[in-house]
Amino acid sequence: MEKLSRKQFDVLEALIGADETLSQRKLEEKTGHSLSTINRVIKELSDAGYVKDGDVTKEGKEAMEPYRVKRAIFIAAGFGSRLVPVTLNTPKPLVRVNGQRIIDGLLDACLGVGIDEIYLVRGYLAEQFDLLKYKYPMIKFLENPSYNEANNISSAMCARFLMSNSYVFEADLLISNPAIIKKYHYTSDFLGIRKEWSDDWCLTVKDNVIVEEKVGGQGDNNYQMVGISYWNDEDGHKLAEHIEKVFNMPGGKERYWEQVPLVEFKKEYKVEIMECKESDIIEIDTYRELKAIDKTYDV
């Protein structure tokens, strides 16, 4: 089966995800491609037998299968020190915000697009994550024995052989728009929020590809990093080797895992930006921010 072009992928993804038959004008709005491009691509897909009468055929769905997310990995081993005192007795992903655990929104978003092979790397207060099994019996736990003496690259070490066709989530992100979690990805990408200025971890982007990761950034090509990424089959296999190499380097245990593809071995990867909005998802960094979102903590 031939690889789909990016435009063919975009049109098929829009058609598969629609609740109704989409006109070419609607496809133009959803994909951002011109009407003439949509017309040409629809003809290509029809000739290939992937689209018929505005609907994706069985063959079209099979053509999308190499781009489907197979699994999700949640990095959830850390202490969450900036959310003390709440995290003294509860791991940060299990903290309730407006009645719901932080991690539940991400898990529900995954299940909503058919991702039900789910792994969670745990460490701090590990046994408390067993409670997730009542609602999410499909979760498989990976134990991180080094969580208190190494950075999150130690969690990536535990899951490094699972990263092909996989999402990797920081487990403490509060999601409000589940639609940012996609069933299909054309290539490896990192979620980011376009910001003219930020003092947080940032990604510099050129032609939609990440060229630099750094703390603080500004300009039209600056994105604030969100801790959600997707890794295709090829990149996932490379990550298994590269994560281990960096982990075993002098000072490697102090690295963040995403620095492996974005800094240490960035010439080996071509990671795109997947843009989202500030209203779609947030990381609650401090107890003050938690109180601002959920007034029950403001006591």
Topology of domain 6-66 in CATH is Arc Repressor Mutant, subunit A (1.10.10)
What's the rounded Cα separation, in Å, for the pair 293 and 287? 10
Whether the CB-CB separation of 167 and 232 falls below 8 Å is answered with no
Whether the CB-CB separation of 153 and 144 falls below 8 Å is answered with no
Residue 92 corresponds to which amino acid?
Answer: K
What's the rounded Cα separation, in Å, for the pair 236 and 250? 24
pLDDT tens per residue, range 84-109: 888 899 999 999 999 999 999 999 99
pLDDT tens per residue, range 214-231: 999 999 999 999 999 999
- Read off the tokens for 16: 């598969």
Question: Within 10 A of 174 (CB to CB), how many other CB atoms are there?
Answer: 22
What's the rounded Cα separation, in Å, for the pair 216 and 205? 14
Domain spans in the chain, listed from the N-terminal domain onward? 6-66, 68-297
pLDDT of the residue at 182: 97
pLDDT of the residue at 61: 95
Q: Average pLDDT of 143-167? A: 95
pLDDT of the residue at 86: 87
Helix (H) or strand (E) holding 80: none
Question: Within 10 A of 70 (CB to CB), how many other CB atoms are there?
Answer: 14
Q: Average pLDDT of 70-76? A: 98
Q: Average pLDDT of 18-26? A: 83
Topology of domain 68-297 in CATH is Spore Coat Polysaccharide Biosynthesis Protein SpsA; Chain A (3.90.550)
